[in-house]
Amino acid sequence: MLLDPWSASGIDDYEKLIKEFGIEPVNSDIVNSLPKPGKYFRRGIIFGHRGFDVVLAAILNGEPFAVLSGIKPSGAFHLGSLTTAEQIVYYQKEYGATAFYCIADVEAFCDNRIPYEKSFKIAIDNLADVLALGLDPDKAYIYRQSEEKRVMDLAFEAGAHVTTAMMKAIYGEQTVFGLYMTALLQVGDILLPEHEDFNGPKPVVVPVGADQDPHIRLTRDIAKRLRSRYKFILPSATFHRLIRGLDGSEKMSKRNPMSYFELNEDIESIKPKIMNALTGGRPTVREQRELGGEPYKCRIYELAFFRIDDDSFVEDIYRKCTNGELICGDCKAMIFEKIAAWLKEHNLRKRKMLDLAYKLLEEK
Ligand code: SF4
């Protein structure tokens, strides 16, 4: 089994990931220890971690730590991008973590052939989304990969410890060699919060989708090798489940517009995607009333599970679905209204953040 961070392939069974790659499960001890477990922890969306105990100890002892994540500026923010972005804001807001927000424009170039001038514009739009979600730019370091020399330096230093065989073992055979180079850049990104310019070693958490584990393994391995020089604390990661395609496909994909929606998208274009989504409903209303629906098969329930913060609302859907009180048509209409209202508010906030996003990136 091989995980490919550039295609999110290989993920169909999270239990298997835990067994095959030695990812540690996030159990109730961890969730209950967190003073403010966010919805992704409470609901088990974050299912695994590497070395999170170091970050947990920093949280419990009120010690400094950092959260780092990057977004590849290859298109508008969509449903799937929100899971990572909200976690950066969560650690910053709830526990005072310094946030490192990397705009992975080099990766967008190598993987998607997007020139820097174009990815700069996309990055402004993406950053405005993150600011609208609550990122405080005064307590964050926001940077473009292509402009950050310290990341490049760390990547080259990392490269001196990596063999071609290692890269192939972790990432498989990639035909574009630049992807291996961007993997080293990601090592530089993840180690950047521990750079002496940012007060040196500290716990760092990297919230990522399970498909990104190869970058985490490589970085932890290199951090160990560079430890005698930099005293790095091994970076930690948490792994979240990926929200599946609305249309029933296993993953959201640009090639399949009915599987996802972008936050910028017109509400009238989103509506049919929700109203035609795969549900866990029974073939007839009578059967649904008798047997109840199957929420864990249902992409409408999944949308509510990932996106709606109110636990009691989500629990209510589950209860009413499984006991046959709720019928899919009504349920879809209700969730659509909720999502549409959230998007309207979010986009209003976002519009006000566009100038700030431009300013923050232009200064880099
Ligand atoms: Fe999904 Fe709602 Fe239908 Fe249940 S009632 S299967 S949650 S759409």
41-84: pLDDT as tens digits = 999 999 999 999 999 999 999 999 999 998 889 999 998 889 99
Tell how far the Cα of 36 is from the centroid of ligand 1, in angstroms.
Answer: 29
Q: Are 185 and 230 within one domain?
A: yes
Tell how far the Cα of 41 is from the centroid of ligand 1, in angstroms.
Answer: 23
Question: Residue 11: which pLDDT band, with cuts at 50, 70 and 90?
Answer: low
Quick check: CB of 78 below 6 Å from ligand 1? no
Q: Are 130 and 228 within one domain?
A: yes
Q: Are 201 and 341 within one domain?
A: no
Quick check: CB of 304 below 6 Å from ligand 1? no
Q: Are 19 and 77 within one domain?
A: yes
95's tokens: 């526990």
Contacts of 167 (CB under 8 A, 6+ apart): 180, 183
Q: Are 72 and 174 within one domain?
A: yes
For residue 326, the ligand 1 atom closest to its alpha carbon is 5
95 within domain boundaries: yes
Tell how far the Cα of 207 is from the centroid of ligand 1, in angstroms.
Answer: 29
Residue by residue, DSSP assigns 155-192 as HHHHHTT--HHHHHHHH---SSHHHHHHHHHHHHHHHG
For ligand 1, mutation pick of 276, 301, 305, 332 (most atoms within 8 Å of CB): 301
Smallest CA separation from ligand 1 atom 8, residue? 328
Q: Are 183 and 319 within one domain?
A: no
248 within domain boundaries: no
Q: Is the pLDDT of residue 10 over 60?
A: no
What domain count does the chain have?
2
Which tens digits make up the pLDDT trace of 152-170? 999 999 999 999 899 988 8
For ligand 1, mutation pick of 246, 278, 279 (most atoms within 8 Å of CB): 279
Q: Residue 97: which of 142, 120, 63 has the closest Cα?
A: 63
Domain boundary residue among 199, 214, 242? Answer: 242
Quick check: CB of 300 below 6 Å from ligand 1? yes
Tell how far the Cα of 274 is from the centroid of ligand 1, in angstroms.
Answer: 12
Q: Are 160 and 185 within one domain?
A: yes
Quick check: CB of 279 below 6 Å from ligand 1? yes
Q: What is the pLDDT of residue 363?
A: 65
228 within domain boundaries: yes
Q: What is the pLDDT of residue 28?
A: 95
How do the residues of the chain divide into helix, strand and coil, expressed in percent and rounded to 5? 60, 10, 30
Q: Are 148 and 263 within one domain?
A: no
Residues 234, 54 contacting (CB under 8 angstroms): yes
Domain boundary residue among 242, 274, 294? Answer: 242
Q: Are 31 and 151 within one domain?
A: yes
Q: Is the pLDDT of residue 9 over 70?
A: no
Q: Is the pLDDT of residue 259 over 70?
A: yes
Q: Are 238 and 275 within one domain?
A: no
Q: Is the pLDDT of residue 332 over 80?
A: yes
Q: What is the pLDDT of residue 293?
A: 97
Q: Are 306 and 212 within one domain?
A: no
Q: Residue 21: which of 240, 217, 222, 223 has the closest Cα?
A: 217
Q: Report the C-alpha gap between 358 and 336 in whole angstroms.
A: 31
Q: How open is the CA angle 152-220-105, to the nearest 5 degrees?
A: 35
Domain CATH number, residue 151: 3.40.50.620
Q: Are 290 and 230 within one domain?
A: no
Q: Is the pLDDT of residue 7 over 80?
A: no
250 within domain boundaries: no
Smallest CA separation from ligand 1 atom 3, residue? 328
Domain CATH number, residue 338: 1.10.240.10
362 within domain boundaries: no
290 within domain boundaries: yes
Q: Report the C-alpha gap between 31 and 239 in whole angstroms.
A: 14
Question: Residue 111: which pLDDT band, with cuts at 50, 70 and 90?
Answer: confident
Contacts of 27 (CB under 8 A, 6+ apart): none
361 within domain boundaries: no
For the chain, give the percent of residues with pLDDT over 90.
81
Tell how far the Cα of 281 is from the centroid of ligand 1, in angstroms.
Answer: 6
Tell how far the Cα of 271 is from the centroid of ligand 1, in angstroms.
Answer: 16
360 within domain boundaries: no
Phi, psi of 176 (to 5 degrees): -90, 115
Q: Report the C-alpha gap between 255 and 81 in whole angstroms.
A: 16
**What is the model's pTM?**
0.92
Which tens digits make up the pLDDT trace of 223-240? 999 998 899 999 999 999
Q: Is the pLDDT of residue 8 over 80?
A: no
Domain coverage including residue 143? 14-242
Domain boundary residue among 179, 212, 242? Answer: 242
Quick check: CB of 80 below 6 Å from ligand 1? no
Q: What is the pLDDT of residue 364?
A: 60
